[in-house]
């Protein structure tokens, strides 16, 4: 009970830091959220209209197992595509394509009840969408770890793990969700890319790379290879490190020009 105010304050601080560090990203995120909700509502209403056709007759709560679920499934598949590589992209790509095809055809059928799209077997389609959506989500979750080296479970302390003798084991052990995971640093993708020192946290490594003047692409490439995180996470860390470096430079300039 007493942890809720602290958690709320921590969330507000994180939100303020994110807006301060990446104002362009914050504006884009708000715009995408508003446009996404608007488009989601419109598409779902069209699927509701098709479900009300006499030849389909899927109404009440059953229609909501179709309306909106495919949009959410397509968004989830897109998220998985961004975080997978190689053959592991095949399943989310297939789910995304089928979901988009259903959504487009349903919207075309809703536009004109006498069109060719409206004559498709929608009653059968509405019957199989809920179980297929469930199986698709289960398959996405089950295949997330395919082709990925198993890692130790992250500690909740959010600090670098130490061996009993006191030496660091070189693993980054902060929790997930924007923080560092428990990973053993690997060699960079290219010999010229920056490297991580043993026991160095991901954000500390990125901050050091920024101070060393490394270029953007090499930092993103090295961060993905060494710490096994997505490009979005590394780019966010780079922006934060650059913003912190700029603030330090500004403070140093003000100190140099001050009385």
pTM (global) more than 0.75: no
Percent of the chain clearing pLDDT 90 (strictly above): 5
Maximum mean pLDDT: which of 15-19, 93-97, 171-175, 190-194: 93-97
Question: In this model, does residue 123 exceed pLDDT 70?
Answer: yes
Q: 14-28, 193-207, 225-239: which range is least confident on average?
A: 14-28
Q: How many residues does this entry show for the chain? A: 259
What pLDDT, on a 0 to 100 scale, did the predictor assign at position 256?
65
Structure-model confidence comparison of residues 5 and 97, the more confident one: 97
Look up residue 33 and give its two tokens.
């959220």
Q: 109-118, 132-141, 203-212: which range is least confident on average?
A: 109-118
What mean pLDDT, rounded, does the chain reach? 76
Q: What is the pLDDT of residues 167-219, one digit of tens each?
A: 444 444 444 444 554 455 556 656 678 888 888 888 889 999 998 888 888 88
Q: What is the pLDDT of residues 74-88, one digit of tens each?
A: 888 988 888 887 888
Contacts of 69 (CB under 8 A, 6+ apart): 129, 130, 133
Spatial distance between the Cα atoms of 214 and 200, rounded to a whole number of angstroms: 17
Percent of the chain clearing pLDDT 70 (strictly above): 76
Provide the pLDDT confidence category of residue 3 given band limits of 50, 70 and 90. low
DSSP the chain: -THHHHHHHHHHHHHHHHHHH-HHHHHHHHHHHHHHHHHHHHHHHHHHHHHTSTTT---GGGGGGTTTHHHHHHHHHHHHHHT--GGGGHHHHHHHHHHHHHHHHHHHHHH-TTSTGGGS-HHHHHHHHHHHHHHHHHHHHHTTTTTS---PPPPSS-S--B-TTS-B-S-B---SSSS--SB-----SSTTS----TT--HHHHHHHHHHTT--HHHHHHHHHHHH---HHHHHHHHHHHHHHHHHHHHHHHHHHH--
Q: 119-128, 150-159, 192-201, 223-232: which range is least confident on average?
A: 150-159
Look up residue 44 and give its two tokens.
């779902």
Provide the pLDDT confidence category of residue 17 given band limits of 50, 70 and 90. confident
What pLDDT, on a 0 to 100 scale, did the predictor assign at position 160?
40
Write the burial class of residue 244 (CB in 10 Å: 0-12 exposed, 13-18 middle, 19+ buried): middle
Question: In this model, does residue 32 exceed pLDDT 70?
Answer: yes
What pLDDT, on a 0 to 100 scale, did the predictor assign at position 107?
86
How far does CA 119 lie from the centroid of its chain?
38
How far does CA 207 lie from the centroid of its chain?
22
């Amino acid at each position: 009970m007493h942890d809720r105010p602290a958690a709320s304050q921590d969330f507000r601080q994180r939100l303020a830091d994110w807006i301060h560090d990446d104002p362009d990203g914050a504006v884009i995120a708000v715009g995408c959220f508003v446009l996404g909700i608007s488009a989601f509502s419109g598409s779902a209403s069209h699927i509701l209209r098709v479900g009300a056709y006499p030849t389909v007759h899927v109404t009440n709560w059953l229609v909501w197992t179709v309306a909106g679920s495919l949009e959410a499934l397509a968004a989830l598949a897109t998220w998985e595509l961004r975080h997978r590589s190689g053959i592991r992209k095949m399943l989310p790509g297939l789910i995304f394509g089928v979901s988009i095809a259903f959504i487009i055809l349903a919207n075309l059928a809703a536009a004109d009840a006498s069109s060719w799209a409206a004559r498709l077997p929608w009653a059968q389609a509405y019957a199989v969408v809920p179980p297929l959506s469930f199986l698709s989500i289960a398959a996405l979750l089950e295949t997330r770890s395919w082709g990925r080296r198993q890692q130790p479970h992250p500690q909740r302390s959010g600090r670098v793990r130490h061996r009993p003798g006191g030496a660091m084991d070189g693993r980054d052990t902060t929790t997930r969700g924007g923080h560092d995971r428990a990973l053993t640093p690997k060699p960079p993708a290219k010999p010229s890319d920056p490297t991580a020192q043993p026991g160095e946290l991901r954000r500390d490594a990125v901050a050091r790379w920024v101070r060393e003047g490394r270029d953007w692409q090499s930092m993103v490439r090295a961060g993905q290879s060494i710490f096994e995180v997505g490009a979005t996470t590394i780019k966010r860390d780079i922006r934060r490190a650059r913003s912190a470096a700029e603030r330090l430079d500004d403070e140093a300039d003000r100190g140099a020009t001050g009385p």
